[in-house]
Structure formats: structure tokens, C-alpha cells
A and B are shown apart, each in its own frame.
Chain A
Amino acid sequence: MVNSKLVKVALILIIGGIALYFFLQSEEGKIRKELNLLTELISREGEEPALILAQKARRTGLLFTETCDYESKSHSYSGHYTRQEIIRQTAAARSQFSSLKLKLYDLQIEFPTEKTAKVILTASVKGQTKAGEEVNDTHEIELTLKKIEKEWLINYVKVVEVLAK
């Protein structure tokens, strides 16, 4: 009786593990994994050595295509950015914070073509600047990712404008 229960539990665990493995290997799983990495690289807690800061900015840049478009009607940073510019901007922005937490959730992933993915998600940023200012901002974000050499890279970022003044 005990043995048959153990076999059932083991079977459930094995099937769950296989399902998880295949999910992570799926294109959707890869995109989720990449966006999780993005949140880890952007978030920070306390002081960070300059080398780590630069390394995280560089790794963040590698999640984007060689050039990336950013569109936001409420911010003045809209435009066309190269990977190097993204790395510089990321390093500059993160260095202004003493703590920063990026959360990406409510992901909806579609594949209009085999090598293109469109993701709609909620991004929330919480933190404190070194000047002591509290930041707490949430937006709906639209991303386009391109599959380049088996890697999904962010090619377009749009902050969805819900209320247009």
C-alpha cells in the first residue's frame, strides 16, 4: 500500500519535472526566463561596486537587439537606441538608486511570426533614489522580441498610454 503511494508520488514528480523542463525549453518559457533575468539585472538592493554595476548594465544590454526603439508619450526618452546607449543609460539610471525593484507580471505572449514575439505585461518599479526620493510607478508595457541565433532579444518597447491628456 505504502509502496504504491510512493510510486504514485514519484510518477507525479517525474511527470511534473518533464512538463516543467519542456515548458522552459518552449519559446514562451525562454521569453519568460529572459524577462526574469531582466528583472534580476535591473533590481538592486543597497550599495553595489562599480564593476558589478557595469557588468549588470552590459548583461542588460545583451538582452536587447543591436538597436531598439522606445516609445512613450509621457516620457521624453522616446527614440532609437543602440545597444551601447542602452548599456550607458541602464548604468546611469541604476546608479541613481539606493534600492530598486523591478517586477514584470501579467504576461501575455503571442507569436505573430516564427521569429517575432509580442509581449504585453505590467511593469512595476519600486525604489528609492540616493537623494531619498521614493519611486513607485506601474505601467502596461508592450514589447516586441526578435529571435536572433536562438536567442529572444528585445527590439521594441512601448509604454501603453491609457489616458491621453
Chain B
Amino acid sequence: MGKKKTIHKFIFPTLTSNYFIRVSSVAILAYLFFTYLFIPVHISGTSMEPTYHDGSINFTWRLHYLFNKPERYDIVTVRFAGKKVMLLKRVVALAGETVEFKNGKLLVNGKKIEEPYVRYPCNWDLEPRLVEEGNVYLVGDNRNMPLKQHTFGQTSIKRIMGVPLW
């Protein structure tokens, strides 16, 4: 009987002012948490295959770069447009380094970089270019598409929103 009452009370709570304060507090905290700390993201597109799949769900952890700077191989979310549209890419080169692609291989400062996460064949060729101060160079893991169709390149560190949670 007591258990039944508890369940009934849980489903149909008494609408007291304390109850409304509790519900409002939870709603506000949840809003702040999922707006500023763990931003839910729906991955759309195949540019990070096979590491991240089209249609999957993740969260952006906003505080990751509070005390650190992005490093090579980090996967980051970048603010693309407004507050809602983000890109998910991998950092392959840092400020002051030169980046190029030769026969699908990534070269940083003229040296080949090992990329075990790239599983699909790639035939990209891109002339060397310098990553400017305050920027990082980002590329997706899926290079099995024409170079022109893949969104990649250097961007300001200021646009980096955080890292995916998993």
C-alpha cells in the first residue's frame, strides 16, 4: 500500500510551491548544462567516417580547452554558423607548420604523418600551405571523396567549441 502511494505521489505530485521551485531549478540547471557545458550534437554527413558515423549522437565538452591548446590528432567541434551548426574534424597541423597532400598522404613540414584513423583510399594532392598564427588545420578522417567535396582547411582556434565526449 505504501509503495503504491509513493508511486502515485511520484506520478501525480501535489502541486505545491516547493514542487514548482524544484522543477524550475532542475529545468534551469539542465538548460545551462546542455547549453554551455555538454552541447548535444547530431552528426550529419560522412566526413569523419569510420571514426564517427552519419546520424550518430554525441556531446561537445566545452571545457576541454579551458587550460589546454588543441594538439595534433585531437578531434574537435568547430563553430561553423551561428550557435547551432558545428563541424566535426581532426586537427592535423598547428600554427607555423606547413601542410600538404601528396598522393593521398598527409605531409606536415615536408614529413609524412602517420594517420591510422584514415581507413579508406585517398588520392588527394594539395600544394603546401602555411598554417597562420592563431589557427589550426583541420581535416576529416574520410578522404575517400574528391578533394573539392571535402570541407577542410585552417580555422581560428577561437572557433573551436570543444571535443566530442566519446
Contact = CB atoms under 8 A, between A and B. Distances in A.
Interface in A145-163: 160, 162-163
21 contacts: A105-B84, A106-B82, A106-B83, A106-B84, A122-B82, A122-B84, A123-B81, A140-B80, A140-B81, A160-B81, A162-B78, A162-B81, A162-B155, A163-B151, A163-B153, A163-B155, A164-B155, A165-B126, A165-B129, A165-B152, A165-B153
Nearest to A140: B81
A102 interface: no
Interface residues of A, number: 14
A123, A138, A139, A165, most chain B CB atoms within 10 A: A165
A161 B79 CA distance: 12
Contacts of A140: 80-82, 85
B138 A163 contact: yes
Chain A interface helix/strand/loop/mixed: strand
Interface of A: 105-106, 121-124, 138-140, 160, 162-165
Contacts, number: 45
Contacts of A138: 80-81, 85
Contacts of B87: 162-163
Interface string B64-105: 000000000000001111111101010000000000000000
Given A162-B87, A162-B159, A163-B87, A139 B81 contact: yes
B142 interface: no
Contacts of B81: 106, 122-123, 138-140, 160, 162
